[in-house]
Structures are given as structure tokens and as C-alpha cells.
Structure 1
Amino acid sequence: MAEQRRLVNPRTSAFVVAIVLLGYLVLMGDRAITMIVSGQPVFIALGLAILVLPILGAVLVVDQLRFGVATERLARRLHDEDALPDVSHLPRRPSGRVERDAADAWFDEKQAELEAAPQDWRRWFALAQAYDLAGDRNRGRKAMRHAIELAREDPAR
């Protein structure tokens, strides 16, 4: 199967969206401060409430960017070790998604491998990818976060 070329680099897209969101959050923060310094109690209360959103948004954006960078770092390590999980053999739908039965079977295989070595971050990385292919992104992200934590503790960094 020929490799499909991506028109947009996912990393670039993530940073562009983060920059646009950051600009929006700065504008929201500016409006909140304007309301707070107005001196009117109602505007002060609204300004404080509005100020929470940019702070929370900035924290979430930074967390997601750090997660993406850490995930990419692990993928690079696996690639350098020639151990990156290969899903190219799995049958795909016309949309490009892996067929459900194949994704489920691959998930079962990766889960069994993880049970044999539960402290291996490489197995957690593969399980995270298997969760993603099976359509369970929340568990996939949790598994990837666990892989990142285990990799940080790995003395062979």
C-alpha cells in the first residue's frame, strides 16, 4: 500500500491552533482585567470569573503540547530502536481506519504482551496505539501518559 502524504504536518497544526488560542486567551484576559479595574462590583465579579478561563485554557494548552512532545519523543526512540509498532498490515476501510475486528485482535495481542512485561514503557506505548485504533481515545491517552512516566524512570534513556 502506498504511503499517503499528509498535506499538513500535525505538529505544525497543533502549534498554530495553540498560538491562535493563546491570542484569544490574551484578549479574554485583557477584557477581564479591564472589567476588574473598572471599580464596579458587578464588573469586578464578572472580570474575576472571566479571568479564570484564560488561565485554565493556558494550563490546558501547555499540558497538551507537553503531552504531544513527550509522545513524539517516545515514538522517535522506538523508531531509532526499530521497535515502533507496525500497523501497516492491518486491513483498512475505505476511510483509512483500521477494520474493527482487526483493531480488536491487535488490541488483544498488545494487551497480552503488556501483561508479560507491565513495567515496559514500550508495551504501554503499543497498548496506547491499540486503544486508539480500537476507538478508545481516553484510555489510549491514559496508557500513553503511563508510558511517558515509565520512560522517564527508564535508566536506558
Structure 2
Amino acid sequence: MRAKITYVVTAAVLVVYFVLVGSRGVMLIETGTPVTVALGAAVLVLPLIGLWFLWKSTQFVRRANQLAAELDAEGGLPVDELRRTPAGRIDRDSADEVFARRRAETEDAPDDWRTWFRLAVAYHDARDTPRARKAMQHAIALHDGKPVRA
């Protein structure tokens, strides 16, 4: 719940920022000189890119949460199996074991979104965000019946 509140507050702050930046861009365009019109147009592009990124991120999180709820209803949500050192760092051997099991599971059933979801969770637990995101995108695409890139 705390993560959802943080996400909503951050998104709201970003939207306010985008509105402020956008209004500055409009003011620059209204000035009417060639330089300010060019700068205003450039300034307006930034909030548009930001809004697009925020929208895509929100869609991704929403879809991942839907998959998690579905997997939870089936009783198939994975647990964090990674051993940690007393300092809280992930034990490398433990991570290698978990990844080997998750990869083998995914190789045995490459068209099952559930295996890709569990692999994504293992990457996330190990703080490997790029791989976690790619595996989750793969799981979402499989779940939705969309073509999946290799």
C-alpha cells in the first residue's frame, strides 16, 4: 500500500510539474518572436514526453499487478528464496541457484506467462531491474496473446 501511495504522489507531482513547464512554453510562444516561439515549442515537447513515459509506466505497473493478482488467485505467487548475508546483501550462490531454477522452468515452458512472471520476480528480488522489466514485459505479452520478440 505504501508503494501505491508513493507512486500516486510522485505521479501527481510530475503532472503539476508538466503543467507548469507547459504553461511556460505557451508563454514563450505567445511572446511571438522567432526565438521564443522556437524555445516555447521545445519546452512543450518535454512535458509531452514526460506524460507519455508516465502513462506507459502506469500501464506496465497496472498490468503487472493484474498478473500478480491472477497468479495469487491460482496460488502460484513466488516467494523470495534468496539468502542474504547478515548485512542484508544477497548471497551470490543463492541467487545463482534461484536463477538456474527459474531459467530452467522458463525453458521448459517458454510460452507460459507464469514462468516468465516468476523469473521477473527473481530478477527484481536480486535488484536486477532491467532484466526484471524485460521478463515482466514478456510475461505480459504472453498473457495477452501478443507476439513476443525473442
TM-score (norm 2): 0.90
- Pick closer, same or farther for the CA change 1:45–1:19 going to 2, 3 Å: same
Unaligned runs of 5+ in 2: none
- Give the alignment's Cα RMSD to 1 decimal: 1.7
Give the match for residue 98 of structure 1.
90
Does residue 121 in structure 1 map to residue 113 in structure 2? yes
Percent identity, aligned pairs only, is 44
> Are 2:139 and 1:147 equivalent residues in the alignment?
yes
CA distance 1:25–1:95, shift in 2 (3 Å): farther
Report deviation, 1:95.
5.2
Quick check: 1:100–1:134 contact (8 Å CA) kept in 2? Answer: no
Distance 1:95-1:32 versus aligned 2 partners, 3 A rule: farther
Q: Which residue of 2 aligns with 1:14?
A: 7
Cα-to-partner distance string for 1:1-25 (whole Å, 9 max, x where unaligned): xxxxxxx611111111001001000
Name the amino acid aligned to 2:56: D
**Superposition pairs of residues 34-49 of structure 1, within 5 angstroms:** 34-49=27-42
Which residues of structure 1 form unaligned runs of 5+?
1-7
- Kindly indicate whether residue 69 of structure 2 is the aligned counterpart of residue 79 of structure 1: no
- Indicate the structure with greater helix content: 2
Give the partner amino acid of 1:147.
A
- Rounded Cα–Cα distance in structure 1 between residues aligned with 2:87 and 2:4: 22
Normalised to the residue count of structure 1, the TM-score between the two structures is 0.86
